[in-house]
Amino acid sequence: MRVLLTGASGFIGGHARRALDRAGYAVVPADRRHGVDFDRMLTVEDWLPHLRDIDAVINSVGIIVEWRGKTFENLHQRAPAALFRACARVGVRRVVQISALGADERAFTRYQRSKKAADDVLRGLPLEWFVLRPSLVYGEGGASAAMFRRIARLPVLPLAGAGRQFVQPVHVDDLVATLLQCLRSASGRLTLDVVGPRPLTLAEWLRVIRARLGRAPAPILAVPWWLAMAFASVARFALPILHPDNLRMLRRGNTADVAPLTAFLGRPPIGVEDSP
Ligand SMILES: NC(=O)c1ccc[n+]([C@@H]2O[C@H](COP(=O)([O-])OP(=O)(O)OC[C@H]3O[C@@H](n4cnc5c(N)ncnc54)[C@H](OP(=O)(O)O)[C@@H]3O)[C@@H](O)[C@H]2O)c1
C-alpha cells in the first residue's frame, strides 16, 4: 500500500514514517523538503499530481501558533481541505487526518476552529476517513514534551492556576499504533479522541516528568491567571508556544473518554508512568 504522508519531517510525522516503513508500507513523504509547501497547495489541482498511485493519505501538518507568515487558514484549513477533495476526486479510498482534541462543536480558539473546519470537509466526503484528535502527544523529539521537561527541571514550578488544569497526555507510540490501525481497519468514517489512559493535572504531569528525570517533587508557585495571561501576551513574541490562546485551551482542559481508543486498539494506551 502506498501512503502519502504530509508533515513527514515533523515529530508525529517522523514517528509515523518510521513505523509505516517497519510495517512494510511504501511511504511517499510530502513535506517542504520534497517540494510540498501547504501555502502553495490551496486547490484540488495543486494536489492531483501528488496522488498518482496513492492508496491512502495521512495528514500530519500543523502549527500550534501562527508565526513567520504561517497561518491556520492555509495550513489547517485550505490546504488540507483541497487535499481531501482531491483524494475524493481521484479515488484515494482512505484518508487519516491528525486533528486535535478540542476541535469539536465547543472549539473556541482559531487553532481548534481551523482544525475542525478541515475535519468537517473530510467527514463530508465519500471515502474511508478517520479524524484523530490527540491530546498532548509526548515522546522522543516532541517540542511540547521538551518544553514541559524544561519547566519540570525548575527548582520552583511557576504554574498558572497552580497547575490544576487537566491534561491527558498520550504517548506518540500509541498515536502511531492508532494510525496503523486506521490503515488496517475494514471500515472508516470514524472520529476518535486519542488520549492517555487517565486525566491528570498539569502539576501531576510535571511531577511524573520530574520523577523520570530522577528529581524529587518541586514546590509550586501558584501564578494568578491574569498575571499568566499578561506574561504570555508579551512572552509569545520570544516563545510563540506561549500564545495566550494556548493558555486558554489549557485552562479549559484537554481530556476525553479513553474507552473508544482502547476498543479501537484492542488494548489500553500506555500510562505515563510506564511509557518508554
Ligand atoms: N504534538 C502534539 O502534542 C499534538 C497534539 C495534538 C495535535 N497535534 C497535531 O499533530 C500534527 C503534527 O504535530 P507535530 O507535533 O508533529 O508538529 P511538528 O513537529 O511541528 O511538525 C509539523 C509538520 O508540519 C510541517 N509544516 C509546517 N509548515 C508547513 C508548510 N507550510 N507546508 C508543508 N508542511 C509544513 C512541518 O514541516 P517543516 O519541517 O517543513 O516545517 C512538519 O513536518 C499537527 O497538525 C498538530 O496540530 C499535535
**Residue 273 alpha carbon to ligand 1 centre in Å:** 26
Give 38-49 pLDDT, tens digit per residue. 999 999 999 999
Bridging pattern class, strands 166-167 and 200-201: antiparallel
The reported pLDDT for the residue numbered 274 is 80
Provide the grid cell at 233: 501576551
User: For a pocket test of ligand 1, which of 34, 61, 68 has the largest count of ligand atoms closer than 8 A to its C-beta?
Assistant: 61
Tell me whether residue 83 is in a domain: yes
Tell me whether residue 41 is in a domain: yes
**Residue 75 alpha carbon to ligand 1 centre in Å:** 9
Tell me whether residue 222 is in a domain: no
| Ligand 1 atom closest to the CA of 101, numbered from 1 | 6
The gap between the terminal CA atoms of the chain, to the nearest Å, is 29
Helix, strand or coil for residue 167?
Answer: strand
The reported pLDDT for the residue numbered 196 is 97
Query: How far apart (Å, rounded) are the C-alpha atoms in residues 18 and 207?
Result: 30
DSSP 211-258: HHTT-----EEEEPHHHHHHHHHHHTTTSGGG-HHHHHHHHH-B---S
Does residue 276 surpass a pLDDT of 80?
no
Q: Classify the C-alpha dihedral 225-226-227-233 as positive or negative.
A: positive
pLDDT band at 156 (very low <50, low <70, confident <90, very high): very high
Taking CA atoms only, the protein residue closest to ligand 1 atom 21 is: 10
Query: How far apart (Å, rounded) are the C-alpha atoms in residues 198 and 16?
Result: 24
pLDDT band at 68 (very low <50, low <70, confident <90, very high): confident
pLDDT-above-90 percentage for the chain? 87
Q: Under 8 Å CB-to-CB from 115, ≥6 apart: which residues?
A: 62, 76, 99, 100, 103, 107
Tell me whether residue 165 is in a domain: no
Give 190-231 pLDDT, tens digit per residue. 999 999 999 999 999 999 999 989 999 999 999 999 999 999
User: For a pocket test of ligand 1, which of 9, 18, 114, 255 has the largest count of ligand atoms closer than 8 A to its C-beta?
Assistant: 9
Query: How far apart (Å, rounded) are the C-alpha atoms in residues 260 and 265?
Result: 9
Provide the grid cell at 57: 493519505
Vertex 183 angle, CA 177 and 186, to 5°: 115
Provide the grid cell at 75: 495550513
Tell me whether residue 217 is in a domain: no
Tell me whether residue 271 is in a domain: no
DSSP 154: S
134, 172 contact by CB (below 8 A):
no
Range(s) of the domain holding residue 7: 2-138+170-197+256-265
Does residue 76 surpass a pLDDT of 90?
yes
- Mean pLDDT score, 126-149: 93
**Residue 8 alpha carbon to ligand 1 centre in Å:** 9
Give Dmax over CA atoms of the chain in angstroms: 57
| Ligand 1 atom closest to the CA of 63, numbered from 1 | 47
Tell me whether residue 79 is in a domain: yes
Provide the grid cell at 245: 490562546
**Residue 194 alpha carbon to ligand 1 centre in Å:** 17
Does residue 275 surpass a pLDDT of 90?
no
**Residue 62 alpha carbon to ligand 1 centre in Å:** 4
What amino acid occupies position 215? R
**Average per-residue pLDDT in the chain?**
95
**Residue 7 alpha carbon to ligand 1 centre in Å:** 6
How many folded domains does the chain comprise? 1
Work out the number of other CB atoms within 10 angstroms of the CB of residue 156. Answer: 9
The reported pLDDT for the residue numbered 144 is 83
The reported pLDDT for the residue numbered 238 is 86
Give 82-114 pLDDT, tens digit per residue. 999 999 999 999 999 999 999 999 999 999 999
The reported pLDDT for the residue numbered 74 is 98
User: For a pocket test of ligand 1, which of 11, 136, 192, 241 has the largest count of ligand atoms closer than 8 A to its C-beta?
Assistant: 11
Would you give the distance in Å from CA 120 to the centre of its chain? Answer: 17
For residue 31, what is the domain's CATH number?
A: 3.40.50.720
The reported pLDDT for the residue numbered 240 is 85
Tell me whether residue 34 is in a domain: yes
The reported pLDDT for the residue numbered 126 is 97
The reported pLDDT for the residue numbered 41 is 97
| Ligand 1 atom closest to the CA of 134, numbered from 1 | 6
Work out the number of other CB atoms within 10 angstroms of the CB of residue 24. Answer: 7
* Alpha helical stretches, state H, the chain: 11-22, 44-47, 72, 79-90, 110-123, 143-152, 172-184, 202-212, 225-235, 244-252, 259-265
Residues with CB under 6 A from ligand 1: 7, 9-13, 31-32, 36-39, 60-62, 70, 75, 98, 100, 134, 136-137, 142-144
Does residue 50 surpass a pLDDT of 80?
yes
